[in-house]
């Protein structure tokens, strides 16, 4: 039995097509997509359409992540479309506007978690972040004392994403794998990441596979799509994440959100000043936004 697990694509079509070529060459029995297909990147519609095309194949399973939820918030007409709250979410609204009605309906219908009972191999489960919620992630430094509330008790294999930082570890009787990120790795390595899992000699074994893709083409997509010109100042932080392989949004919010909300500095200026010295260190345990 071979399982490929991938997620946190974030509208990075260049990374996705390269990873899917790698996956298909490996020929897994199951392919699990763990959410955050859309948003925080320029080609969400293309990524979602490609995943939906693949998902008609037997053995493909797709769940939603927190960024699907962020986009779907704009389905509510009363959700703010003005002021500083909107300015901080403008990149999300840009993504929402690029998706078709069919795309949005597909996102609504995606399940939050996955359970597959494989005869003789045990229960396989997948969540976007953990059993505690789609924004409560499992990091490489998460201690065992915290894992009890994040990992299901009865699964033999538990697959997650969200943190954009991969790991393979055993907790109790469960192999826990964080697949890392296809579109926005946050470990200083800009190569796309996904997990290859096999069942051998009575147990699950997993490896994180890193795949080089055309990063320059991915950067070009930020400009050609209108993401940078129409997505507001926060789009520049996301481009920096792509280029550097380190998270920027969480650190920016910690350092600047209050000052921007109190009108002590403009949003555009706060982003500009932050990017003079971007975050290029291991960021943990802050949950990616």
Angle between helices 215-224 and 234-244 (to 10 degrees): 170
Q: How far is CA 47 from CA 11, 12, 74, 98, 150, in A?
A: 6, 7, 20, 12, 28
In a domain, 268, yes or no: no
Q: Cβ contacts of residue 133 below 8 Å, gap of 6+?
A: none
Residues 6+ apart with CB under 8 A from 153: 172
Is residue 54 assigned to a domain? yes
Question: Residue 182: which CATH number?
Answer: 3.60.21.10
* Number of folded domains that form the chain: 1
How confident is the model over 213-218, as a mean pLDDT? Answer: 98
Give the number of residues written for the chain.
289
Structure token digits, residue 286: 């802050």
Cβ atoms < 10 Å from Cβ of 245: 18
pLDDT, tens digit (0-9, with 9 covering 90-100), for 109-160: 999 999 999 999 999 999 999 999 999 999 999 999 999 999 999 999 999 9
DSSP string, 239-282: HHHHHHSS--HHHHHHHHHHHHHTTSS-HHHHHHHHTTS---S-
Tokens 């975050």 -> residue = 279
pLDDT category of residue 287 using cuts at 50, 70 and 90: very low
pLDDT tens, 58-82?
A: 999 999 999 999 999 999 999 999 9
Q: Percentage of the chain surpassing pLDDT 70?
A: 97
Alpha-carbon separation of residue 140 from 59, 72, 165, 211 (angstroms): 29, 30, 7, 20
- What pLDDT shows up at residue 217? 98
How many angstroms separate the CA atoms of 268 and 85, rounded? 14
Q: Supply 217's token pair.
A: 């083409």
Residue 277 covered by a domain: no
- Summarised one tens digit per residue, pLDDT across range 171-187 is 999 999 999 999 999 99
Confidence of residue 286 (pLDDT cuts 50, 70, 90): very low
What pLDDT does residue 280 have?
Answer: 85
pLDDT tens figures, 82-97: 999 999 999 999 999 9
Q: What predicted TM-score, i.e. pTM, was given to this entire model?
A: 0.96
In a domain, 128, yes or no: yes
Identify the pLDDT of residue 284: 52
pLDDT of 281 above 80? no
Domain containing 160 equals 2-211
Burial of 233: CB neighbours in 10 Å, binned 0-12, 13-18, 19+:
buried
Above 90 in pLDDT, residue 285?
no
Mean residue pLDDT of the chain comes to 96
Query: What's the DSSP call for residue 138?
Result: -
Kind and range of the H or E run holding 196: strand 192-200
In angstroms, what CA-CA distances link 134 with 66, 156, 261? 6, 21, 26
Model pLDDT for residues 153-172, shown as the tens digit of each residue: 999 999 999 999 999 999 99
3-state secondary structure of 75: helix
How far is 169 from 209, CA to CA, in rounded Å? 15
What percentage of the chain's residues is helix, strand, coil (to nearest 5)? 40, 20, 40
What are 247-279's pLDDT values in tens digits?
999 999 999 999 999 999 999 999 999 999 998
- Nearest residue to 138 (alpha-carbon basis) of 124, 150, 156, 125: 150
The answer to the question of residue 253 being in a domain is: no
Query: From CA 112, how far away is CA 45, in angstroms rounded?
Result: 20
Residue 287 lies in a domain: no
Give the model's pLDDT for residue 85: 96
Tokens 């609504």, residue?
108
Q: Is residue 176 part of a domain?
A: yes
Residue 151, judged by CB atoms within 10 A of its CB (0-12, 13-18, 19+), counts as: buried
What pLDDT score does 144 carry? 94
């Amino acid at each position: 039995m071979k399982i490929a697990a991938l997620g946190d694509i974030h509208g990075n079509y260049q990374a996705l097509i390269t990873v899917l070529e790698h996956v298909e060459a490996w020929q897994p029995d199951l392919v699990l997509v763990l959410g955050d297909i859309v948003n925080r990147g320029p080609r969400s519609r293309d990524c979602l359409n490609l995943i939906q095309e693949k998902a008609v194949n037997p053995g493909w399973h797709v769940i939603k992540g927190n960024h699907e939820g962020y986009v779907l918030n704009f389905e509510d007409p009363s959700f703010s479309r003005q002021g500083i709250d909107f300015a901080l979410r403008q990149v999300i609204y840009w993504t929402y506007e690029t998706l078709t009605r069919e795309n949005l309906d597909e996102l609504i219908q995606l399940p939050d978690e996955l359970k597959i009972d494989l005869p003789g191999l045990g229960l396989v489960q997948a969540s976007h972040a953990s059993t505690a919620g789609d924004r409560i992630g499992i990091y490489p430094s998460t201690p065992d004392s915290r894992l009890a509330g994040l990992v299901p008790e009865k699964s033999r294999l538990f697959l997650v994403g969200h943190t954009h930082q991969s790991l393979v570890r055993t907790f109790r009787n469960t192999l826990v794998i964080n697949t890392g990120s296809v579109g926005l790795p946050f470990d200083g390595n800009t190569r796309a990441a996904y997990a290859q899992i096999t069942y051998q000699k009575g147990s699950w074994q997993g490896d994180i596979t890193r795949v080089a893709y055309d990063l320059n083409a991915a950067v070009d997509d930020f400009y050609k799509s209108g993401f940078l010109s129409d997505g507001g100042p926060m789009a520049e932080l996301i481009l920096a994440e792509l280029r550097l392989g380190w998270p920027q949004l969480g650190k920016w919010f910690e350092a600047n959100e209050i000052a921007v909300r109190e009108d002590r500095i403009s949003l555009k200026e706060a982003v500009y000043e932050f990017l003079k010295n971007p975050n290029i260190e291991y960021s943990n345990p802050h949950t990616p936004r």
